[in-house]
Amino acid sequence: MPRKLIVDTDPGIDDAVAIFLAAASPELDLLGLTTVFGNCATAVATRNALILLDVADRPDVPVARGATDPVASTYLGAIPHIHGTDGMGDGGELPAPTREPVAESAAEFLCRTVAEHPGEVTILAVGPLTNLALALRLRPDLDTLVDQVVVMGGNALVPGNATPAAEANMLNDPEAADVVFGARWPVTMVGLDVTHKANLRGADLDRITAADTPAGRHLARALPLYRAFMERTNGLDGIYTHDPSEVAYLIDPTAFRTEAWPRRGRSGWRPRVSAAARRGPTSATPTTRPRPRGRTGRWSTCASTSTRPAWSTWSCAGSADRPGVVAVE
Ligand code: BDR
Ligand code: CA
């Protein structure tokens, strides 16, 4: 039976590859996309999600628009030098999407869809974890109803990519990461330890972008900017497959080596306090959830606090009874 899947995403070029892979895989039953800020603002990410599903010929897959800011601060902003001002590599005008997102918010969509299939849904988060944290606030038992959460983000034994210490998705909402990694659901983190090893080489990319298919043509326009960035900054002939690696993990977990680890969340603090932080926690700030007994590892204290972490690393989630898992290769 195909695995029921919701992808929470900030498309984003590597998100686009991940979505095409998920949409085309018979092993996966794609129930919806939920969108979040990160590579671009949420409005752009939502439009891109709709366009990507048009390209993938999946009009059956709904898109729910998500949060526009982190749970306790404001969005750091887009990264147009990596993903383009349109989030899709600035490779030419994108077609207008043929439909609208659903009326539900991402958090509402997650809660309703998971509750309709208790114990069956995998949530794959390939952007900041804001929507998942907000969904937990809406429905505190959500973490007992999902099959598993798989996260693209964090870095266990390797440096960060957004700062020397932090991976981009975690940096974009460390408070949400604290909530999500502290919840009762099983979490598998597929972080930079994996994705910096899993490369699509230049020759692979050439084959993909030469394909005379809607997805091939879309990626032929989207990938060059991302590829040039990777070459310039990492000396790669090819790209790191951040988001597609997690889809690959769901299609064939045996291709990965995983280890159960105690979780380690850690954050540092900016000397300056943001305007949002000066106002203090708001109603949009999730309350810190009590952590079940039996947890191991050291945790940051960033949830519901009044300053924004300047950097953070997340190596794993878990507890004595429900170990977190980190995919390492
Ligand atoms: C992650 O950050 C985003 O820029 C990518 O889409 C990926 O999800 C990599 O650190
Ligand atoms: Ca992403």
**What is the distance in A from the centroid of ligand 2 to the CA of 243?**
6
Token pair for 6: 């919701």
Q: What is the 153 CA–ligand 1 centroid distance (Å)? A: 7
Return the pLDDT at 234. Answer: 86
Give CA–CA dist 101/290, Å, rounded: 34
Tell me how far apart the alpha carbons of residues 260 and 274 are, in angstroms, rounded to a whole number: 36
Ligand 1: list residues with CB < 6 Å.
12, 14-15, 38-39, 126-127, 152, 161, 167-169, 242-243
Beta bridge partners of 261: 324
Q: pLDDT at position 87, please?
A: 98
User: Which tens digit of pLDDT belongs to each residue from 158-198?
Assistant: 888 998 888 999 999 988 998 998 899 999 999 999 999 88
Residue 113 burial (CB count, 10 A): 20
Instruction: Pick the atom of ligand 1 nearest to 15's CA.
Output: 6
Please give the number of the atom of ligand 1 that sits closest to the Cα of 10. 6
The pLDDT of residue 266 is 61
Token reading at 184: 């009762």
Query: Which of 233, 242, 246 maximizes ligand 1 atoms within 8 Å of its Cβ, making it the mutation to test the pocket?
Result: 242
Look at residue 214 and give its three-state secondary structure: helix
Q: Which residues of the chain have pLDDT under 70?
A: 262-329
Centre of ligand 1 to C-alpha 293, Å, is 32
The dihedrals phi and psi of 136, each to the nearest 5 degrees, come to -65, -30
Q: Which atom of ligand 1 is nearest to the CA of 11?
A: 6
Eight-state DSSP code of residue 256: S
Which pLDDT score is estimated for 238? 94
According to DSSP, the β-strands at 121-125 and 199-201 are unpaired
CB 174 within 8 A of CB 267: yes
What is the CA(300)–ligand 1 centre distance, in A? 22
- Ligand 1 center to residue 96 CA distance, Å? 24
Q: Which ligand is nearest to the CA of 194?
A: 1
Ligand 1 pocket test target in 13, 35, 37, 126 with most atoms within 8 Å of CB: 126
Containing 206, the helix (H) or strand (E) segment is helix 202-210
Instruction: Measure 127 CA to ligand 2 centroid, in angstroms.
Output: 4
Q: Can you tell me which atom of ligand 1 is nearest the CA of 162?
A: 10
Q: Which ligand is nearest to the CA of 153?
A: 1
Ligand with an atom nearest the CA of residue 80:
1
The one-character DSSP state at 199 is: E
What pLDDT, on the 0 to 100 scale, is given for residue 264?
63
Catalytic residues: 10, 242
- Nearest alpha carbon, ligand 1 atom 10: 168
Q: What is the pTM of this model?
A: 0.85
Ligand 1 atom closest to Cα of residue 169: 2
SS3 call for 48: helix
Q: Who's near 125: CB < 8 A, 6+ residues apart?
A: 8, 131, 132, 149, 150, 151, 152, 153, 169, 180
